[in-house]
């Protein structure tokens, strides 16, 4: 059953079922932020259920549905159907990939007017294959990542999947950007380092990670270690 878990005031996570990704069962995680006006901002919406809808209804009205990269789009239409007043936001490249979804706005390299001053954001640049939009909830000092860092428990995978997870570098406590994606930054590391500097300047206390274990202590040290493959900033 879906359970909305509060991690700080006005910010919650929902751990959903795993979805297959190239033969690997990837856990899913939705992040919900209640803005100062009471509206709910939903990051990487996962599969809906009647229980989850009931719990969300207690928190406030769903008004913003955010797809942080062009992989996280599976349940956007499902949420839009259930919350027709919500605005859909597309990450870079997603409108071209999913022209069938009626996204109202693109996510930019700066906060949208609806959450400006509450949630900071940047587009993490440098990759030749995908750009992810990274968010920072100021009030709770929480960095919100999607696939940019994956951090699965060492015992989550088994057999060949466990070996593959270690090779790709997505096993906690040393989770990082998956190997195939890291390779796509070959010519864009300087751009990526600039984005990393911005993330560090936010001084997050915790990190929500969509796939794997979240970070609730020593967040900045974890970020620096996870992105050590970029070289010195």
Residue with tokens 């990704």: 21
Instruction: Report the alpha-carbon distance of residue 39 to residue 41 in Å, rounded.
Output: 7
Helix (H) or strand (E) holding 165: helix 159-168
Instruction: Report the alpha-carbon distance of residue 30 to residue 39 in Å, rounded.
Output: 16
Q: Give the model's pLDDT for residue 2.
A: 52
Instruction: Report the alpha-carbon distance of residue 108 to residue 89 in Å, rounded.
Output: 10
Characterise 159 by phi-psi region: left (phi > 0), alpha (psi -120 to 50), beta (else): left
Q: Give the model's pLDDT for residue 1.
A: 46
Instruction: Report the alpha-carbon distance of residue 233 to residue 154 in Å, rounded.
Output: 29
pLDDT in tens, the chain (233 residues): 458 999 999 999 999 887 766 677 888 899 999 999 999 999 999 999 999 999 999 999 999 999 999 998 989 999 999 999 999 999 999 999 999 999 999 999 999 999 999 999 999 999 999 999 999 999 999 999 999 999 999 988 888 888 888 998 999 999 999 999 999 999 999 999 999 999 999 999 999 999 999 999 999 999 999 999 998 75
DSSP letter at 63? Answer: E
Q: What CATH number did the domain enclosing 13 receive?
A: 3.60.15.10
Cβ(51)–Cβ(71) below 8 Å? no
Residues 111, 115, 118, 124, CA torsion sign = negative
Report the greatest alpha carbon distance in the chain: 48
Q: How many domains does the chain have?
A: 1
The pTM is what? 0.94
Q: Give the model's pLDDT for residue 22.
A: 62
- Pick the closest to residue 121 from 111, 131, 129 (CA basis): 111
Range of the domain at 124: 4-230
Q: Give the model's pLDDT for residue 202.
A: 98
Q: Strand 4-8 to strand 11-21: parallel, antiparallel, or no bridges (unpaired)?
A: antiparallel
């Amino acid at each position: 059953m879906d359970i909305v878990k509060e991690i700080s005031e006005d910010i919650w996570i929902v751990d959903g079922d795993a979805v297959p990704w190239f033969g690997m069962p990837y856990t899913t995680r939705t992040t919900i932020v209640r803005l100062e006006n009471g509206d709910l901002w939903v990051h990487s919406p996962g599969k809906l259920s009647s229980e989850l809808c009931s719990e969300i209804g207690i928190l406030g009205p769903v008004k913003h549905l955010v797809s942080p990269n062009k992989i996280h789009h599976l349940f956007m239409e499902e949420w839009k159907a259930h919350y027709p007043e919500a605005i859909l936001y597309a990450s870079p490249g997603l409108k071209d990939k999913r022209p069938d979804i009626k996204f109202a706005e693109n996510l930019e390299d700066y906060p949208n007017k609806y959450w400006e001053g509450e949630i900071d954001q940047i587009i993490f640049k440098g990759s030749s294959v995908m750009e992810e939009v990274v968010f920072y909830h100021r009030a709770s000092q929480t960095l919100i990542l999607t696939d940019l860092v994956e951090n699965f428990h060492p015992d989550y995978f088994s057999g060949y999947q466990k070996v593959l997870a270690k090779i790709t570098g997505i096993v906690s406590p040393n989770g990082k950007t998956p190997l195939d994606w890291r390779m796509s930054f070959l010519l864009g590391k300087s751009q990526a380092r600039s984005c990393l500097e911005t993330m560090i300047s936010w001084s997050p206390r915790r990190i929500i990670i969509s796939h794997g274990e979240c970070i609730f202590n020593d967040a900045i040290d974890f970020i620096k270690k996870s992105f050590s493959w970029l070289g010195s900033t």
